[in-house]
Structure 1
Amino acid sequence: MGTFIEYLKAYENSLKINKKGITITLSGLSGSGKTTIAEVLAKNLNLKLINSGDIYRSLAEESKVSLEEFSAKHNDEVDYEIDKRSLKFAKEGNVLIVGRLAGWVAGDNADLKIFVKCSLKERAKRVALREEKTFEEAKKDILARDKSDINRAKKLYGINLKDLSIYDLIINNDKLSFEEAKIIPVKKVQALLKKKALLI
């Protein structure tokens, strides 16, 4: 029971928290559209939205250095602190946590673990538009990021990010229009929560 990350188990046992409300995690690779879907879900389900990127920025502010300086010094300890804070939020409940490792970190504390799938082509198109890059530049950056994330997860945690068996729901965001991405995932999540008797 609890987190799926071995090194976090001792920390988890030290937390004395009474969970209030549901916990949902949402993961996906860069450009998959996970943030957009998460924002819509959080609003519809009235959940607090926590993004691992926001936790990262909070840590930079707490260290009293610029985000650029903090990024330059980024090490494993930063990742571990993000994990600890994410796990604490998961145990508190009434939250939707977005992050590549969110499902693994929350583990059984999550009532629902979601993964957003999307093809490399579609992801590259979205990132190119968002970051004002060419399609080829975006594709190259995404492949490098994916490789780095997969290797880092294996090295730090001994987990395989390609293993989707931990997720309760996989959303294919490849063919969804912007409007459909705001409706279909909500309906699927609501149906699953009702099935688990977590939503009336």
Structure 2
Amino acid sequence: MIITITGLPGSGKTTIAKELARHLHIKHYSMGELVRKIARRKKISVLQLTKKNNKLADEMDRLQKEIAKTHRDAIIDSRLGAYLIKNARAKIYIHAPLKTRVTRISERDRISYKEAMHQTLAREREELGHYKKEYNIDYRNKNLYNISLNTDKLKVEQATKKLINEINGLK
């Protein structure tokens, strides 16, 4: 079964995707982690990397489609997973309020709350503009998904259990 997980920065999508993959015993692919790793290696921010590298976006799109074609079971977490992978059984949208997401990013990246807020808002603005221009979509549109989960008050294990129940309920 192919599962896509999408969400705004700091919503918990990658953390939850990893836990879901562990519970379901399937492979997890995080496009965000891959981009962050490339940015760290180049010693630039994710925003700087994505702004100056259009080929990166094309490669990430190709990679996601290839994973979906060559794997019977996989979890792919990315902004465009639900849009790019039409045959995914579960298309999950993870969301949380801005303050919660910024706090998580601040802790994850070990930066101040103020810096995390600045980076998050800039990144969201940039990504939303890019996806609208390049794909004519708003990945926040819940009509793209068959499962939506607010992670604001949930621990990872609670979110994972809810998602497993939702996935099992899909036809």
The AA in structure 1 aligned to 2:88 is A
CA distance in 1, matches of 2:108, 2:166: 32
The AA in structure 2 aligned to 1:51 is S
Bigger helix share:
2
Question: What is the match of residue 105 of structure 2?
Answer: 127
Q: 1:3-33: CA deviations, max 9, x gaps?
A: xxxxxxxxxxxxxxxxxxx000111111111
Conserved? CA contact 2:50–2:57, under 8 Å: no
Q: 1:20-78: CA deviations, max 9, x gaps?
A: xx0001111111111111111000001111111455589x6xxxxx9318948942222
Q: List runs of 5+ in structure 2 lacking aligned partners.
A: none
Aligned-pair identity in percent equals: 32
Which of 68, 75, 78 matches 1:99? 78
**Residue 191 of structure 1, CA deviation:** 2.3
Question: What is the match of residue 92 of structure 2?
Answer: 114
Conserved? CA contact 1:128–1:138, under 8 Å: yes
RMSD, matched Cα: 2.4
What SS does structure 2 have at the residue aligned with 1:114? strand
CA distance in 1, matches of 2:14, 2:43: 25
Confirm whether residue 158 of structure 1 aligns to residue 131 of structure 2.
Answer: no
4+ aligned runs moved over 3 Å, structure 1: 53-58, 69-74
Confirm whether residue 181 of structure 1 aligns to residue 159 of structure 2.
Answer: no
CA distance in 1, matches of 2:107, 2:43: 27
What SS does structure 1 have at the residue aligned with 2:144? coil
CA distance in 2, matches of 1:131, 1:51: 17
Confirm whether residue 83 of structure 1 aligns to residue 83 of structure 2.
Answer: no
Question: What is the match of residue 168 of structure 1?
Answer: 146
For these two proteins, the number of residue pairs brought into alignment is 165
Q: List runs of 5+ in structure 1 lacking aligned partners.
A: 1-21, 61-65
Question: What is the match of residue 13 of structure 2?
Answer: 34
Instruction: Compute the TM-score of the two structures, normalised by the length of structure 1.
Output: 0.74
Cα distance 1:69–1:141, how it changes in 2: closer, same or farther (>3 A)?
closer
CA distance in 1, matches of 2:51, 2:145: 33
Q: 1:63-98: CA deviations, max 9, x gaps?
A: xxx931894894222211110110111223310001
Confirm whether residue 43 of structure 1 aligns to residue 22 of structure 2.
Answer: yes
Cα distance 1:165–1:57, how it changes in 2: closer, same or farther (>3 A)?
same
